[in-house]
Amino acid sequence: MGSVNDGMRMTQQFEGFREQPYLDTRGIPTIGYGFNMKANPGLPAYMTPEQAQPLFNKYYGQADQRARKFVGSETYDSLTPTQMNILTDMAYNLGDRLNGFEKMRAAIQKKDKKSVIREMKDSDWYGQVGDRSKWIVANWDR
């Protein structure tokens, strides 16, 4: 999970792909690689993987910037590649709700791995995303 491409593949695998709309775990209409149709009303009602890829690339890039901003560039640059990919995946999955993880941010900035994991496990997100969160917690210190 070292490179950006590894992170992109990881997020695509976690999100899965759906050609037609479905309701996510929070009841939000979603399509493609977890694209929120409420937040992006121009999305089509049917999407091929080829149509979805450029959108995924765009949204993943935005998530990467959101992750960097969340902990600060200096902290982000000091993370392992796996931690960068995990934080970007969380930013992709959570959007701006990542900002609610204030204690986790402080723990990341202090390099307190045990507290980072505890804050992840103590969140609603941890129960909502199933195996994704368990993998993330198990791999945070890589």
Helix axes 81-94, 4-15, angle to 10 degrees: 40
Q: In this predicted structure, what is the pLDDT of residue 59? A: 96
Mean pLDDT of 15-19: 96
For 37-69, the pLDDT digits (tens) are 999 999 999 999 999 999 999 999 999 999 999
Closest of 132, 7, 96 to residue 120, by C-alpha: 132
SS (H, E, C) 84-135: HHHHHHHHHHHHHHHHHCHHHHHHHHHCCHHHHHHHHHCCHHHHHCCHHHHH
pTM: 0.93
Q: How many domains does the chain have?
A: 1
CA 124 to chain centroid, in Å, comes to 15
Q: In this predicted structure, what is the pLDDT of residue 137? A: 97
Q: The domain containing residue 22 runs over which residues?
A: 4-139
Closest of 61, 86, 57 to residue 71, by C-alpha: 86
Q: Which CATH number does the domain housing residue 82 bear?
A: 1.10.530.40
DSSP 22-53: EE-TTS-EEEETTEETTT-TT--SS--HHHHH
For 78-91, the pLDDT digits (tens) are 999 999 999 999 99
- pLDDT at 2 > cutoff 80: no
